Amino acid sequence: MSAHTTEPSGVAVAVHASDPMTALGAASILGSDGRLRVLPESDIALAEMIVIIEEAVGDKALAFLREVRTKSRLDTSPRCVIVTDRLRIDGLTAIQYGTAAVLQRSNTSDDELLRTVVAVSQGAAYLPPWLQGSLLNQFDRIRRDVLEPNGLTMSGMSARERDVLRLLADGHSTEEVAVRVGYSERTVKNVLHSLMSRHGLNNRAHAVAFAWRAGVI
């Protein structure tokens, strides 16, 4: 008789905390829900989610997240929930390394921790209002100081690229687009080639669809 093995169920979660008792307590809370499967930190390369619990989260935690992403054996990088009273890294950097939720440690109940981790495991995100405000300010600075001086928008497209794609979406040929925007047909084709190469797009229809999904046409 052949033996059957059952694949473990639940989203794989690893808890990281410098205080062992905090780590054990959080693991117990999260492990009580069948939708989650708590891994030992030695198996963190298999984690789909990371929960970091520290009084202060700064460069040390950032280095840890960077290492986790490097060692991960998964196709997609793990998402992260940070539980702390002092977030000492900027919001964009936190998001860059997979942070999808930030909770205040001193005010977070066991139930709230569990609800948030489950929600993030299902694709949700929770960023407190103060962090949202900080992110908006950062986005505005990037737009003003980096993108606009180079003729770009938050979508990564220039005004010229948007104009060309809008006309293509209206059914115009490249020759007609060139006449309408006042460029040579060769310039229009170069604009399209540059855009498609930069964003990994296959053809003009793909480029138009990309721009439509990005909300720029």
pTM of model > 0.85: no
Residues 62 and 64: their CA atoms lie apart, in Å, by 5
Predicted confidence band of residue 135 (pLDDT cuts 50, 70, 90): confident
Main-chain dihedrals φ then ψ at residue 128, nearest 5 degrees: -60, 155
Furthest CA-CA distance within the chain:
77
Give me the residues paired with residue 14 across strands. 39, 50
The average confidence (pLDDT) of the chain is: 89
User: 20-35, pLDDT tens digit by residue?
Assistant: 999 999 999 999 999 9
Give me the residues paired with residue 115 across strands. none
Residues 212 and 152: their CA atoms lie apart, in Å, by 16
Q: Which domains does the chain have, with CATH numbers?
A: 11-138 (3.40.50.2300), 151-213 (1.10.10.10)
Which is nearest to 176 in space by CA: 142, 166, 147, 25?
Answer: 166
152 touches 159 (CB < 8 A): no
State yes or no: pLDDT of 201 exceeds 60: yes
